[in-house]
Structure 1
Amino acid sequence: MAEAFLITKDHNGFPRVISILSSLLERVANWNDDLTATGLHHYSPASAISAFFGLEKPEISIACYLERIFRFAHCSTSCFVVAYIYLDRFLLLHPSISVDSFNVHRFLITAVLTAVKFIDDRCYNNAYFAKVGGISLAEMNHLEIDFLFGLRFDLNVTPIVFGSYCSILEREMKMANPHTPSSVHCFVTEDETSSSCKQKQLIV
């Protein structure tokens, strides 16, 4: 099932996982942006000093950013699922940090870089990924280190966990509602089956 999901392409010729992830993260980021704008959500000190927090929203959309990464990184489609798993783990370990328009791009380029290094046979260096992501090499290096320590170097992904997240992403595409935040924060422990997972909203 996971294999079929990964090879399916959208109308633009990109893997379907790209459009699903971009749509999902776009809604979550917009939701958190609105909460901040209305004063219902405030950045904690831990969030404000996060290496991933930006002072301005990038002009490029999340969808175009993910497509750019896919086009130039030449990584496997599986890396995007694993990157999503890493992002999920990171946020579970740091509940004071929420995904929004100011940090989502940095999270994505760092999570994909980490996934590529861990699961693909070939990988471009950090300087190349920095250019793809539109950031400096120094910032790319800093983000990678911060992300790895934030994950506590928990990079292993079992087949059960991987398949579960593929199922979550497929279900997200079918059940997406642009007016409500998605229950996309789903941590699947190593001893759980693909049919059981604990879901939690990605907004804090």
Structure 2
Amino acid sequence: MAELEIPSVMPKIITFLSSLLNRIAESNDLNQQQLTHQKISVFHGLTRPTITIQSYLERIFKYANCSPSCFIVAYVYLDRFTQRQPSLSINSFNVHRLLITSVMVAAKFMDDIYYNNAYYAKVGGITTIEMNFLEVDFLFGLGFHLNITPNTFQAYCAHLQREMLLMQPLNFADSSLSLEKSLKAHLCFNEDESSSHQNQQQLAV
């Protein structure tokens, strides 16, 4: 797996992910036609959580104590999950549960030492029973496709870093256009692990 500079890069990754997911959730919330035909899953809450996506990610980062690469892997998992579940769009009712579940699954797959479901449930503000159900549903939604090649990992890192540069104030207009494309693709781009060259082409679009 590619190594990241932990102190400087990790907070930026959290900031970008929260910003991107927030825009996606808000866009899907406003798209009434899409919401009408949207799949209601176990990730869908009855009300919108009062905690912001960024605060929620920061809470996970603070208490989950998982390796930084887990957030990249969780990002890959979210992309795979939404691609396999086209009727389930990320919105403000399900994004928090998707986040805590994806990070937990990533930690279990990536790290030698990780907290159990009960601990992640407390971090995420849900019950242990609910956390268990979310994990099972997420794994089946992924088709248990958990392995990530180094090329895929590096491609997602490169995409995040490029998008973070585009989100700088001087490039606000370019950032808006890029995020508009991201909204249509749920997260970032269609993953194809069979060809790292194709991944790089997609990242360059």
Which residue of 1 is the match for residue 191 of structure 2? Answer: 188
Q: Deviations over 1:34-72 (max 9, x none)?
A: 113xxx323436x12x11111110000000000000100
- Residues 178/190 of structure 1: CA separation in 2 closer, same or farther (3 Å cut): closer
Checking the alignment, whether the CA contact within 8 Å between 2:43 and 2:98 is kept in structure 1 is yes
- Where does residue 9 of structure 1 map in the other structure? 8
User: Of the candidates 81, 96, 110, which is equivalent to residue 87 of structure 2?
Assistant: 96
Equivalent pairs: percent with the same residue?
50
Which of 4, 15, 19 is 1:23 aligned to?
Answer: 19
Partner AA of 1:191 in structure 2: S
Structure-2 change in CA distance of 1:178 and 1:195 (3 Å): closer
Residue pair 2:16, 2:164 contacting (<8 A) in 1 also: yes
Separation (CA, whole Å) in 1 of partners of 2:35 and 2:117: 33
Of 177-186 and 164-173, the range deviating more from structure 2: 177-186
Q: Is the 8 A contact 2:100 2:124 kept in 1?
A: yes
Using structure 1 for the length normalisation, give the TM-score.
0.85
**Match for residue 35 of structure 1?**
31
For these two proteins, the number of residue pairs brought into alignment is 190
| 2:200 match: secondary structure | coil
What is the CA–CA distance in structure 2 between the aligned matches of 1:181 and 1:31, rounded to whole Å? 9
Letter matched to residue 30 of structure 2? D
For structure 1, list consecutive stretches of 5 or more residues without a partner in the other structure.
Answer: 200-204
Q: Which runs of 4+ in 1 moved over 2 A?
A: 6-10, 40-45, 174-182, 196-199
Cα deviations by residue, 1:60-117 (Å, 9 ceiling, x for unpaired):
0000000000100000110000001001001111100100100000000000000000
Q: Supply the AA of the counterpart residue of 2:6.
A: I
Contact kept? 2:60, 2:124, Cα under 8 Å:
yes
More helix by share: 2
What TM-score, normalized to structure 2? 0.85
- Distance in 2 between the 1:87 and 1:138 partners? 21
Shift of 1:159: 0.4
Aligned partner of residue 122 in structure 1, secondary structure: coil
The alignment's C-alpha RMSD in Å is 2.1
User: Cα distance, 1:32 vs. partner?
Assistant: 0.9
Unaligned runs of 5+ in 2: 168-174
User: Quick check: 1:187–1:198 contact (8 Å CA) kept in 2?
Assistant: no
Structure 1 CA distance, aligned partners of 2:114 and 2:106? Answer: 10
Question: Which whole-Å CA distance do the structure 1 matches of 2:74 and 2:157 have between them?
Answer: 12
The offset of 1:175, in angstroms, is 2.4
The farther-off stretch of 137-146 and 18-27 is 18-27
Cα offsets for 1:114-149 (capped at 9, x unmatched): 000000111100000000000000100000000000
Q: Is the 8 A contact 2:53 2:96 kept in 1?
A: yes
